[in-house]
Chain A
Amino acid sequence: MDNKKDNLSRRKFVKNSSIVTGGLFLAPSVISATPLYKKEKMLKLAVVGCGGRGTGAASQALKADENVKLVAMADAFQDRLDDSFNNLSKMFDKDRIDIKPSNKFVGFGSYKKAIDEADVVILATPPGFRPQHFEYAISQNKHVFMEKPVATDVPGIKKVLATARKADEKKLNVVVGLQRHYQLSYKETYKRLQEGEIGKILSGQVYWDSAGVWVRPRQEDWTEMEYQMRNWYYFNWLCGDHILEQHIHNIDVANWFIGEYPTSAQGMGGREVRNGKDHGEIFDHHFVEFVYPGGAVISSQCRHQKGCMSRVSESFQGTLGSTYTDAGNKAIIKSYSNGVLYKHNGEDDRNPYQVEHDQLFASIRSGGHINNAEYGAKSTMTAILGRMATYTGQLITWEEAMNSEQVLVPNEDGLSWGSIPPVVPDAEGNYAIPVPGVTKLV
């Protein structure tokens, strides 16, 4: 990386040139007289989880508000933290990346030390750790940006929901990285749905069908714990399966547009093609039917198989018309009787990942209160409900799912590189795979 050219040669984000147009001028929901975070006050930022996404989120926070400094970083791995620090140091002047060597925290439990140093924290580790990090951040009165999903098991969901209420009581701002809520093509479609353009939603199809994502093969000098932490996508305690990690985006759109959460789900899934030892315990496809209280039925499909049809999109059929939205920033609303009602032209749209931070910091500065944690948790829960349905092969109600006491994630504070992870391979190096019809809801 250090030998490669970069696109920074003539520019760095510096004071007065760091503000992306409009960032601070977006209307916050509440204006209050609290002087605590007026713009003269320097806000201290910490990032917990320094992968590409954590680094991206940190850069967006620094661009959102010129009087923010990154003061602490935490990651399980020294190399990930160093890469992130080096990249951010190239992008921003030294006074924006103001991190003493003693404020770079590595290993399990390092999140606490980084969070302690900051006013605003970015939580971007694999999702299994999120409930514990979020709970600690709110207990320490920090504003939060956290990535999706927000948990991998039901106890985690309950922790996030309880913490969300505390954030409300404390008037702390919480933005969740379900960026479609901050993306114009989706916001405009939502607004038009609210205005009744397609009537009441009866059905829908949401998709994340692709070839799959990265794999980090086992290396000899790694402990089992290090292997799972590096190849985290394939372990449920860390990732939750791709129905959570990716497909949550599309499932969340269904919840958002319908305005409800499902009462039940049933579905099917398995591990047909991506079934090697380095593919841990997750499925490579899930197909779930979600039934909503108002009667809407949503088909949800996600697949990680090469060479198959690819699609990342959401379609809904209402009593009067239909909507189509996708990852290509398309949004099309049609009436059954009058054809196209709306077609989104997104060429000049702002980056939704940047808008998330612009709104978070604008709200902090003005004493406003944004809290996305509840819908973040409930959409994560919807994906967990789907996973339960495909793993067991049974019809599962929301209520049954919420009663699950299965703990997938151990307390991070007790972990070390020598700890035995919650799942371990057999003598041949294979992990136990859920079997529909046999696997029970616990």
Chain B
Amino acid sequence: MITKNYLKIILSFLIGMSSEFLIAQTADNYHMEVPGEQWSIEMVFVDGSSFNMGVANSDATRNDDEKPIHEVLVDDFWMGKYEITWDQYDAFVYGRFGTDQFESESKLKDLGIDAVTGATAPYVDMSFGMGKGSYPATNMTQYAAIMYCKWLTAKTGIFYRLPTEAEWEYVCKKGKTDKLASLNEYAWFEENSQEKYNKTGTKKPNDLGIYDMLGNVSEWVLDKYSTGYYAKSPRENPWNIPSELYPRVVRGGSWKDTAGKLCCTSRQRSKSNWKIQDPQIPKSDWWHTDAPFIGFRIVRPKIQPSKEQIEKYWLEAIVDYGMN
């Protein structure tokens, strides 16, 4: 939980100030303790603005799905300084889900939450021996990552979610993450990772103070993957809402990718074969069996959306029959 004084400041922002003032004002980074947990989450404030998303059509070095370049506005938000770790993720997987663990029912209703569902325990070790604890959590489905955000929201009373693809790229570009002098100093990728992910935050951060945006683990964002979206996306806070289970977008590249793939505009898509070793039908809503290179980080919009808007972010599970 945010310290009480700080909460007061935030509340006075949201309630007492004019919206004009809100836009002009920046907010601080903060350190969030989570009730009942031994760990906390570091959040970095990101001042929203317009930026050029994607790359120019003329850039022959980049893929077509990164084109065209187009202006996009993103609102202010906080983003996790680090990728979510196994300690932070296992608290959800193996946590208790009694009502005493969460905010009051009426508070949850305002956050668009009727019930919080826990992930099933995985049948195999999902870290594949690469390390747990403060190493990044991996192999979760996008649905599971979203349900993690819902769980965290219910525990803290503050709305957390995955970033949109636009927010993710904005942070990457604004932090000059792929313009830094030597990628080796900022990221874990195939050439320096020794075939595994590493503890979060062990390389240098980008210019916003955010770690591992590129490399280590690829990160879930909220969007459906489609090649044509950039040409028609809305200018303000675009979010390509998924309607099918696959493909959805992951960003940033991982310990398995070569340096050339670590780039702020590069887009990767989820695949059905990330569950190839799941022997059951239906396949797990919660776990991939073959994606030890996928993780996530969280964001928090500066202005908490309405209950109705929040509900849209709690995407439903889609039963996976391993068909596509």
> Could you list which residues of chain A lie within 8 angstroms of chain B, going by C-beta atoms?
1, 4-9, 11, 13, 51-53, 55-59, 87-88, 90-91, 177, 179, 207-214, 246, 306-307, 309-313, 326-330, 332, 349, 351-353
| Closest residue of A by beta carbon distance from B291 | A328
B323, A55: Cβ atoms under 8 Å?
no
Q: With A211-B94, A351-B276 as given contacts, are A11 and B121 in contact (CB-CB < 8 Å)? A: no
CA distance A304 to B124 in the complex (A): 11
Q: With A7-B245, A351-B276 as given contacts, are A326 and B129 in contact (CB-CB < 8 Å)? A: yes
Q: With A1-B319, A4-B318, A8-B321 as given contacts, are A312 and B281 in contact (CB-CB < 8 Å)? A: no
What are 9 A-to-B residue pairs whose CB atoms are below 8 Å? A4-B319, A13-B323, A87-B282, A177-B279, A207-B129, A210-B125, A213-B121, A310-B126, A310-B127
A309, B132: Cβ atoms under 8 Å?
yes
A7, B320: Cβ atoms under 8 Å?
yes
Residues of A within 8 A of B129 (CB): 207, 310-313, 326, 328
Residues of B within 8 A of A11 (CB): 323-324
Contact with A along B256-284 (1 / 0, CB 8 A): 00000000000000000100111111100
CA distance A52 to B279 in the complex (A): 8
| B200 → A minimal CB distance (Å) | 18
A4-B318, A11-B324, A58-B281 are known; give 11 further A-B pairs, CB within 8 A: A7-B321, A8-B323, A56-B279, A56-B280, A88-B281, A91-B323, A211-B125, A311-B129, A329-B277, A329-B290, A353-B279
Q: Tell me if B122 is interfacial: C-beta within 8 Å of chain A.
A: yes
Q: With A7-B246, A213-B123 as given contacts, are A327 and B128 in contact (CB-CB < 8 Å)? A: yes
Q: With A52-B281, A55-B281, A328-B292 as given contacts, are A4 and B124 in contact (CB-CB < 8 Å)? A: no
Residues of A within 8 A of B246 (CB): 7
CA distance A341 to B236 in the complex (A): 52
- Chain B positions 306-324 with a Cβ under 8 Å from a chain A Cβ: 316-324
Task: Give the 5 A-B residue pairs with the shortest CB-CB distance, closest first.
Answer: A52-B280, A310-B125, A328-B128, A6-B319, A311-B129
CA distance A1 to B320 in the complex (A): 11
Residues of B within 8 A of A53 (CB): 279-280
A210, B122: Cβ atoms under 8 Å?
yes
CA distance A7 to B323 in the complex (A): 7
Residues of B within 8 A of A212 (CB): 121
| A56 → B minimal CB distance (Å) | 4
Q: With A91-B321, A306-B94 as given contacts, are A211 and B277 in contact (CB-CB < 8 Å)? A: no
| Closest residue of A by beta carbon distance from B320 | A7
Residues of A within 8 A of B90 (CB): 211, 306-307
Q: With A310-B129, A327-B128 as given contacts, are A6 and B318 in contact (CB-CB < 8 Å)? A: yes
| A152 → B minimal CB distance (Å) | 19
B319, A7: Cβ atoms under 8 Å?
yes
Residues of B within 8 A of A349 (CB): 276
Residues of B within 8 A of A7 (CB): 244-246, 318-321, 323-324
Residues of A within 8 A of B132 (CB): 309-310
B124, A210: Cβ atoms under 8 Å?
yes
CA distance A417 to B317 in the complex (A): 35
CA distance A353 to B275 in the complex (A): 12
CA distance A195 to B159 in the complex (A): 58
| B199 → A minimal CB distance (Å) | 15
Find the residue from B128, B244, B289 having the highest chain A CB count within 10 A: B128
B277, A351: Cβ atoms under 8 Å?
yes
Q: With A5-B319, A326-B129, A328-B290 as given contacts, are A91 and B281 in contact (CB-CB < 8 Å)? A: yes
CA distance A88 to B322 in the complex (A): 12
A6, B321: Cβ atoms under 8 Å?
yes
CA distance A353 to B281 in the complex (A): 12
Q: Tell me if B99 is interfacial: C-beta within 8 Å of chain A.
A: no
CA distance A212 to B124 in the complex (A): 8
Q: Which of A5, A55, A326 contacts B280 (CB 8 A)?
A: A55
| A107 → B minimal CB distance (Å) | 23
Q: Tell me if B191 is interfacial: C-beta within 8 Å of chain A.
A: no
Q: Tell me if B120 is interfacial: C-beta within 8 Å of chain A.
A: yes
Residues of A within 8 A of B94 (CB): 211, 306
Find the residue from B121, B278, B321, B323 having the highest chain A CB count within 10 A: B321
| Closest residue of A by beta carbon distance from B283 | A56
Q: Tell me if B207 is interfacial: C-beta within 8 Å of chain A.
A: no
Q: Tell me if B64 is interfacial: C-beta within 8 Å of chain A.
A: no
| Closest residue of B by beta carbon distance from A83 | B282
CA distance A400 to B94 in the complex (A): 41
CA distance A210 to B287 in the complex (A): 15
Q: Tell me if B28 is interfacial: C-beta within 8 Å of chain A.
A: no
CA distance A162 to B51 in the complex (A): 72
CA distance A52 to B123 in the complex (A): 12
B277, A59: Cβ atoms under 8 Å?
no
Q: Tell me if B105 is interfacial: C-beta within 8 Å of chain A.
A: no
Find the residue from A13, A59, A310, A353 having the highest chain B CB count within 10 A: A310
